[in-house]
Amino acid sequence: MDLSVRIGSLTLTNPLVAASGCFGYGVEYADLVDLSSLGAIVTKGLFLEAREGHRAPRIVETPAGMLNAIGLQGIGARRFVEDKLPELRTRGATVIVNVCGTTIDEYAEVSRILSDAEGVAAIELNISCPNIKEGGIQFGCSLDGTFDVVSAVRKVTRLPIMPKLTPNVTDVASFARASEQAGADAVSLVNTFLAMVIDVETRRPKIANGLGGLSGPAIRPIAVRMVHECYEAVKIPVVGMGGIMNARDALEFMIAGAAAVQIGTANFVDPLIWTKLTDGIRDYMQRHQFTRVTELVGTVQTGPVESPTGA
């Protein structure tokens, strides 16, 4: 069975991608997971310089999910190229780097640095993190901001560009269209939903930042709907994510229109999920007589159900 998919000019051996923020820089999982067996990994978000992130507590479990406000802690683009990228190359990983910025110029400069580095396959533009006050989501919640960031990065790199879209807008498909018009090769969605958890005894938020990003199975039905809306709105590939915990969840996103899927929160529950996902997708393809996984993409039947003959 052919599990390969294309994201712009990039070919992935399978549609399973480790999501940014839930897989470290990839090297942290390298002794547990064969990185070369994944379609790709998306690194933690990288600014131009190192960033400490928010103070603890930064994560709290919620019903069917988790809330986090890490604050995009990271080592910076240059140190990533020097310290992490060589091992990722050795491990045979397909590396997509999640690029952050507080200004359009920073997005462009980080992307330029990564474009010059051997072993970076694509760039995911983080314009949707709800946990920082400057940059990021400020661009991702503005159609003009989204267009401007993608356009600026497009000018400095030939690598495939994939903006990561926020669900914290009223019409996510319009942001997919703005990304496509600006030269994006794909879009990924959804990032986390802005949320809050309160300790009723202390009457204080359970994370120090107050607000955080909600992920996990609780958001999956909304994410599937948004992926389908974007699939119908643009011609470029859509990469879906949001609460994928098993093969059926991944298949649901692909049937809705996702060319590939990213797995995030599930990594904290089961770091060995990848083989189970691959086996589950292969089993489904065999049962439904698909030979290529791309045949599944966008096959959701949304019309009225036909009544049986004679009913």
Cα(274)–Cα(3) distance, integer angstroms: 14
253 and 188 Cβ atoms separated by less than 8 Å: no
The pLDDT confidence band at residue 133, using thresholds 50, 70 and 90, is low
Per-residue model confidence as pLDDT tens digits over 271-296 = 999 999 999 999 999 999 999 999 99
**What single-letter amino acid sits at 107?**
Y
Cβ–Cβ contacts within 10 Å for residue 47, how many?
24
When the pLDDT of each residue in the chain is averaged and rounded to a whole number, the result is 93
The pLDDT confidence band at residue 111, using thresholds 50, 70 and 90, is very high
Cα(274)–Cα(19) distance, integer angstroms: 12
Q: What local confidence, expressed as pLDDT, does residue 68 receive?
A: 93
Q: What local confidence, expressed as pLDDT, does residue 127 receive?
A: 92
Is 221 a residue whose pLDDT tops 70? Answer: yes
**How much is the CA Rg of the chain, to the nearest whole Å?**
19
With pLDDT > 70 as the criterion, what percentage of the chain qualifies?
Answer: 95
Is 311 a residue whose pLDDT tops 90? Answer: no
Please give the model's pTM, rounded to 2 decimal places.
Answer: 0.94
Q: Which residue, chain included where needed, has tokens 């389908």? A: 228
Rounded mean pLDDT of 141-164?
95
119 and 88 Cβ atoms separated by less than 8 Å: yes
215 and 68 Cβ atoms separated by less than 8 Å: yes
Percent helix / strand / coil, the chain, rounded to 5:
35, 20, 45
Cα(59)–Cα(73) distance, integer angstroms: 13
**What single-letter amino acid sits at 111?**
S
Catalytic residue among 100, 129, 141, 230: 129
156 and 94 Cβ atoms separated by less than 8 Å: no
**What single-letter amino acid sits at 118?**
E
Q: Which residue, chain included where needed, has tokens 């406000």? A: 69
- Residue 13 tokens read as 């051996």
Q: Is 141 a residue of the active site? A: no
Terminal Cα distance for the chain, rounded: 38
Q: What local confidence, expressed as pLDDT, does residue 71 receive?
A: 86
The gap from C-alpha 253 to its chain's centroid, in whole angstroms, comes to 13
Rounded mean pLDDT of 104-119?
96
Indicate the SS3 state at residue 117. coil
Is 137 a residue whose pLDDT tops 80? Answer: no
Q: What local confidence, expressed as pLDDT, does residue 11 receive?
A: 97
Q: Going along the chain, which residue ranges are E strands?
A: 5-7, 10-12, 16-18, 40-42, 59-62, 65-68, 95-99, 120-126, 161-164, 187-189, 193-195, 198-199, 204-205, 212-215, 238-241, 260-263
- Is-cis flag, bond preceding 60, omega within 30? no
- Is-cis flag, bond preceding 190, omega within 30? yes
Q: What local confidence, expressed as pLDDT, does residue 303 receive?
A: 77
Among 242, 293, 240, 238, CA closest to 266: 242
Per-residue model confidence as pLDDT tens digits over 30-57 = 999 999 999 999 999 999 999 988 899 9
The pLDDT confidence band at residue 128, using thresholds 50, 70 and 90, is confident
CA atoms within 13 A of residue 35's CA, in its CB half-sphere: 23
Domain 5-54+72-193+220-296 - what CATH class?
A: alpha beta
